[in-house]
Amino acid sequence: MQHFKRLANIVYLLLIVSHLLATLALAQGGREVLVADVSGPVTPIMLSFIERALAEADLRNAEAVIIRLNTPGGSVDLTKEIIQVMIASDVPVVVYVWPPGGFAASAGTFITLAGHAAAMAPNTSIGAASPVDGSGGEIDETLRAKIENILVADIKSLANRRGDEAIEWAQEAITEAKAANAREALELGVIDFVAEDLDDLLSQLDGFTVKVGGEEVALNTGDVRTSFFEPTALEELLGIIATPTIALLLISVGSLAIVYEIINPGGYISGIIGVILLVVGLFGVGQLPVNYAGLALILLAIGLFAAELFTPTFGALTAVGIAAFILGALILFNTSEFSYRIPIPSIIGIALSLAVIVGLGMRKVVQSMKNQPTTGREAMIDAVGTVKVPLDPQGRVLVYGEWWSASSEDGQPINVGEQIRVTKIDGFQLKVKKAE
């Protein structure tokens, strides 16, 4: 009984210590700023990552969340969801366009303006949110007016608290594709700070007042500790796959593997790998605003490459396929929501690699058409054998190690041991003549 009481006292003491440590941790959490690096096109993966970062910051009772943003833009619908999540956050959200040389283009402009505070690193840019059509060109006037009016209304609402100059610039970023560097954006009131790095940003944010949930909150970022919110391994992998150049490369390599399987059937490994890569590449493309005309041209090119192997046109289908592939790759990621051009050397390199593989396959097909059959009934024609039972005119011969009933083609007798050549197969009987 005595031992039991001692054990109970120890457990009780441990509970008290644990509670004190937890309280201390929560107290320290209020002096923490969570930093989340967000880069690349606006995709469902980005939305999920930002949602997790804000939820984690709320759980830790963080002072603020700093989103270091570098994006060429992306889906309007996803951007609106990100904005809604940011506005609804109980933790102040600071959007920091980073690193130097980075940008918050198109949809990135909306995300930056949606932050409770906004900053940019030197040599960064923001703006150019004008809509374009599926091939990167101009949209029909009526449709363009509808899209612009909706986007202008949204961006003016976000920029409303930043003054008339900021509102006017934000509107022109939509209607005239205007852009601004960090210093210009600061002068216009589009952002609150130009910060050299994270420490500089935290120093400038200290004491800055933001409105969160309708209430004014003074940020306390002096001597605050920073924690970096890392993506999961799956998010990192999906982020790589959803990169335009990587997605196109996966589709191309997968197609090459399938073409190789067609050329050398029977192994299955290259075919299986090809199908997997092709599916993963198409998944990556599906995460991005894609021009379906460009995707159709790429798939058409792959179909033409495969058709070349079955109906050799001595390069005609391959040439058309290369042209279709290059054109499709150029417009694949140019939509009204997102404009991204894959480097031309990459496109040409992938297209030529496909053409070389198809050329090697076509050469192998042509060679196989010229080769004499080596198995089956066709292989017996013109084969040479030996007479084992005299042909007068019928007898038996040995061909390819097998015994066959045979008859002399011209009716002339052929003696045992003489060489014969097969001229015809009639059921299970050979027609033969003396070999010259």
Count of Cβ atoms closer than 10 Å to residue 416 Cβ: 12
Q: How distant, in Å, are the alpha carbons of 69, 148, 182, 229, 357 from that of 103? A: 8, 22, 10, 21, 39
Nearest to 172 by CA among 199, 148, 141: 148
What is the full DSSP assignment across 44-91?
HHHHHHHHHHHHHHHHTT-SEEEEEEEB--B-HHHHHHHHHHHHT-SS
Instruction: Lay out the sheet containing 179-181: strands in order across.
Output: 103-105, 125-127, 179-181
Which contacts (CB < 8 Å, 24+ apart) does range 98-102 have? 98/37, 98/68, 98/69, 98/70, 98/124, 99/68, 99/70, 99/124, 100/124, 102/39, 102/69, 102/70
Question: H/E element holding 422?
Answer: strand 419-426
Q: Looking at 18, 48, 75, 106, which residue is catalytic?
A: 106
146 assigned to active site: yes
Count of Cβ atoms closer than 10 Å to residue 293 Cβ: 14
Phi then psi dihedrals of residue 324, to 5 deg: -65, -40
255 assigned to active site: no
Which contacts (CB < 8 Å, 24+ apart) does range 177-182 have? 177/127, 177/128, 177/129, 177/130, 178/127, 178/128, 179/105, 179/125, 179/126, 179/127, 179/128, 180/125, 180/126, 180/127, 181/123, 181/124, 181/125, 182/97, 182/120, 182/121, 182/122, 182/123, 182/124, 182/125
CA R_g for the chain = 36
What 3-state DSSP class applies to 137? coil
Count of Cβ atoms closer than 10 Å to residue 324 Cβ: 21
Catalytic residues: 106, 146
